[in-house]
Amino acid sequence: MTGEAQVNQRYQLPRGLSAYRKIGPFDAGNLPAGLLREHRLKEGTWARLTMLEGEIGFVWDDADSDGAVTVLAAGDRLHVPPIILHHLEVREESFRLEIEFLNDSC
């Protein structure tokens, strides 16, 4: 999947969210190990993963998804909802990504 318009968004960002933190960019040399293990966002927090270069797999670990993988390439963005288990899967040696965290700041 290449280009934000072509990524099949499983979840749409709710209206009224604003970014409160951005981490990265990450590459193969500095990607936090925790992102490669099953984890979830806290209640009320969404994430927007943006691929800057290369390709990575986003694995949905929740019971409804049965390990489905969304492949993200340069230019793609993916919205990640609260509580849903997931992890990243390195597919190429060369990649760069960043992650923004969003919430309802009201």
- Each residue of 9-66: pLDDT tens digit? 788 899 999 999 999 999 999 999 999 999 999 999 999 999 999 999 999 999 888 8
pTM of this prediction?
A: 0.88
Computed over every residue of the chain, the mean pLDDT equals 91
Asked if 22 and 45 count as a contact pair (C-beta separation under 8 A), the reply is no
Asked if 58 and 36 count as a contact pair (C-beta separation under 8 A), the reply is no
Cα dist from 44 to 17, 102, 103, whole Å? 10, 9, 6
Asked if 77 and 7 count as a contact pair (C-beta separation under 8 A), the reply is yes
In a domain, 51, yes or no: yes
Domain range holding 29?
4-8+20-103
Which is nearest to 60 in space by CA: 103, 2, 8? 8
Lowest mean pLDDT among 1-5, 42-46, 64-68, 102-106: 1-5
Q: How many domains does the chain have?
A: 1
Q: Which tokens is 94 given?
A: 């060369």
- CATH number of the domain enclosing 76: 2.60.120.10
Asked if 75 and 51 count as a contact pair (C-beta separation under 8 A), the reply is yes
Tell me what percent of the residues of the chain surpass a pLDDT of 70: 92
In a domain, 89, yes or no: yes
In a domain, 32, yes or no: yes
Whether residue 106 is predicted with pLDDT greater than 70 in this model: the reply is: no
In a domain, 14, yes or no: no
Whether residue 72 is predicted with pLDDT greater than 80 in this model: the reply is: yes
